Structures are given as structure tokens and as C-alpha cells.
Structure 1
Amino acid sequence: HISLPHARLVRRTLEEMGVTSIRVVLSHWHDDHIAGNEVFHDCEIIANRLTASALERGRAEIEGRNPPIRPLVLPNRIFDNNLHLTVGAIPVELRQVEIHSHDGTVLLMPDAGLLLAGDTLEDSIT
């Protein structure tokens, strides 16, 4: 699902809720997970190093596809293996995994016992 209008709706909804700082976490490099980056070009866009490398290597192809993702906005914060963040007072862990794609990232909220798994749950290995 490649839709800038959908990304705009997400951003507008967050802003209408009073959110003033937005971080975007890329779960992996596939089109349907990066197409909305343009809408968040002025935000922190986080990806693991494998995702960032895949996007850099594939930039010309991604921007030339039908439909094109142009401009392809690349992540501006890169991590290796794990990244610990705080959202408000909530600890959040990003973990690099290799399940759905070689460059997967999942988001763990340990205090809540919550895992945001992206596409990793659609593969039989999980």
C-alpha cells in the first residue's frame, strides 16, 4: 500500500492530537513501509544500518518504479543491532531482526509487554 495521502492523514491526526515531535521507525526497506517518508521529511526517521544501506543502494530503482517513490527520503538516524529510546516516560527498544527481510526492525515496549512486529508476523518462521 503506497499512499502519500495515508501518510498525510497519519501526520495530520497526530498533530491534531497535539503531538509536536514525531519519530518514524522503518521496519524494513520494502516500498509499502517507506513510501510515506516524504511526508515526514522534517522528522527523525530511524532505521537500522541494513535498511539504510538497502535504500541507498536501491534508490534509483525505487524512485523509478511504477508508482515511483520520489523523492525517496532516507533515514536520518541509523542504528546497529539495538537502539534504546524514550517516548515521553515510556522506554522503547528497537531491535534488528532477520525474519521477513534481511533488515527487519521490531519495536519493543518492555514495561507494557508489547511488541510491534511489523511484517515479521506474516512469515511462517514466527
Structure 2
Amino acid sequence: MERGTYFDFYEVGTGIYAAIVHDGAGALGNAGIVDLGDRTLVFDTTQSIPAAQELKNVAKKLTGQEASLVVNSHRHNDHVLGNQVFADATIISTEVTRSVMANRLPAFLEFAKAHPEYPNQIRNRLSDASLSDQGRWEVERDLGDTEHLAAHLPEYVPTLPTLCFENQMHIYGSAREAQLLTYGSAHSASDAFMYLPEDKVLFVGDLAFIGYHPSMADGNPELWVTILGRILELEFDTVIAGHGPVGNRSHVEQTKHYVEHFIETARSNSETVNADGIPIEYRDWRGESVYFGNLKFLNGRYGRS
């Protein structure tokens, strides 16, 4: 393991590295580095320019060459705002992801630059005496990431993917094959993942979360369950999710069960889903506000708001 300012870098296979973020340091989303042999690929670029630069530097150090390929798993800022650091590389996404980024990324940056005081809204939440320990951890993490983003706002330039695919793209390097796949909308409008079949490694972006509550409000929970079922048909042992430590098949199954739990409860209950407490099996997960946001979203989705 190599420790950086923004990530811990783990070699999960020969020439395959998981970049696991330091919570609250600014990067927010995990990333990956893959040595294809004749080329180096980076999976996701985080929300931080300095973190993306660290990712770029470490990729060159570990593989001996600059990253020439970059994959954006989906459109959320914590996976794409670092793209400008890799402007000389070919940046790949689905057509849908690029389209949504083209509409929303400039608008987000314009809004954020016009409201540099917005981290104060998060800081003020720290005075809430009713915060649980998990809730306070989440606010402190969010504040650190948001202050980092705000400090670098003048530097951001919206940088879109330059190569898109519809359903799949196979990249054949001299050392290994990387398959880029999408089965549609799950966590976001379009979610892609990378499968390294010879190594049995998956980089899934935010299709799975490990030890964190997965947010549902920007996607399609029903399709998410179906998509995770299809992913589980693949042969893999190691999973790098968008949030959380390096995992395995059981963590994909766990995310699937989590989403199923919400859907089944919201569909079956005549009353709104109980928001009094988080089920014990998810109580240790980070991001408890996301849990309650999911309740609100699904209650509204099934007409129980």
C-alpha cells in the first residue's frame, strides 16, 4: 500500500491499483489505475484537481507511462471534476453520461463560483446538538470535501469525455483486456463499469457502495436491482466501488439487498416507510442522511409522501 495526500493506493492485482480516498480530504470518490501493458488507464477522476494530479502522478510512477485513457463511470461531480488534469488523454464515457455532463457541469461550476460562501451552510450544521456520532462524522467529512472544492473553484474548467460508447467497449492492451460496460440507469442516468476478465476485477463506480449508504434519488432503483443481478453473473473476485474500501462479490450482493429492501418496504407498506431508525444491518454504514433521503425519495416515488 502506498499512502498519498488524497488516496491510499492498493495493488489488487498485477498492475491493477485501487485508489481509495481519504474521507474529507477533498477527492470524495474512489478511483483506479490499470496498466494495460502498452497503455495506462485511469478509472474516474474525483472532484478534486489536486487529487486528480496525485492520481496522474502515481499512475505514471506505478506503470512507467502517462495515463492515455480515462474512464468516467457516471456524471456525478466526485467522479468527473478532475477530468481537466487528463485533458491530453482520451476520456471515455457513455453517450448519456457525456450529454448530462454537458448540460449540468458548466451550470454547477457557474453556480458554485457565484456562491463561494456555500460551505458555511454545512459548517453551521455542526452546532446541531441532536447530531448522532455518525451524523457528526458525515457533516465533518462533507465540510472538508466542500471547503476543498470551494478553495479550488477558480481553477475548474469543464472537461467532457471525447470518446463515447452505447453498451460496451473492449480495450485490448498488450498485457490485458479491459471491458467497459453499461446496462443502463441505476445510481445515475447512466452507469458504466469496467471489467478485467482475466484478473476477475471489477471497477463499478457507484453501482456498489461498501460501508456507505448508496444514494438512489438520481437514478432508477428498480433497474439498479436488475443491473446488479446481471453484474453478479460475471466471474469476479475483487470489487472497487466508488465509496468504501476494496471489496468482493458479497459487497455487490449487499448493495443489491439494500436497494431491494427499500423498494419492497415502500411498495408493501400502506403507510410511509418508517423513518424512526436505520435497520441494524445498516446502522454502522457511513452517510446516514443518505438513508433518510432514500426514504423520502422512495416514499414519493410510490405516492406515500
Letter in 1 for 2:164: I
2:58 aligned with 1:13: yes
Quote how far apart the aligned CAs of 1:96 are: 1.1
Structure 1 stretch 99-108 or stretch 9-18: which is displaced more?
9-18
Q: Which residue of 1 aligns with 2:80?
A: 34
Q: Retained in 2: the 8 A contact 1:62–1:72?
A: no
Aligned length in residues? 126
Q: Distance in 1 between matches of 2:169 and 2:158?
A: 24
2:162 aligned with 1:117: no
Quote how far apart the aligned CAs of 1:21 are: 4.1
Q: Distance in 1 between matches of 2:76 and 2:91?
A: 15
Q: Which residue of 2 aligns with 1:77?
A: 163
3-state SS of 1:108 partner: strand
Q: Distance in 2 between matches of 1:22 and 1:104?
A: 22
Name the structure with the higher strand share: 1
When normalised by structure 2's length, the TM-score is 0.39
Q: Which residue of 1 aligns with 2:115?
A: none
Quote how far apart the aligned CAs of 1:16 are: 2.5
In percent, how many aligned pairs have the same letter?
26
Where do 5+ consecutive residues of structure 1 fail to align?
Answer: none
Where do 5+ consecutive residues of structure 2 fail to align?
Answer: 1-27, 29-46, 113-149, 215-220, 226-255, 257-305
Higher-Rg member (1/2)? 2
Quote how far apart the aligned CAs of 1:71 are: 0.9
Moved >6 Å (runs of 4+): none
Letter in 1 for 2:160: L
3-state SS of 1:50 partner: helix
Letter in 1 for 2:100: A
Letter in 2 for 1:112: D
Q: Which has the higher contact order (CA 8 A, sep 6+)?
A: 1
Q: Distance in 2 between matches of 1:84 and 1:44?
A: 14
Q: Distance in 2 between matches of 1:9 and 1:65?
A: 27
Q: Retained in 1: the 8 A contact 2:68–2:90?
A: yes
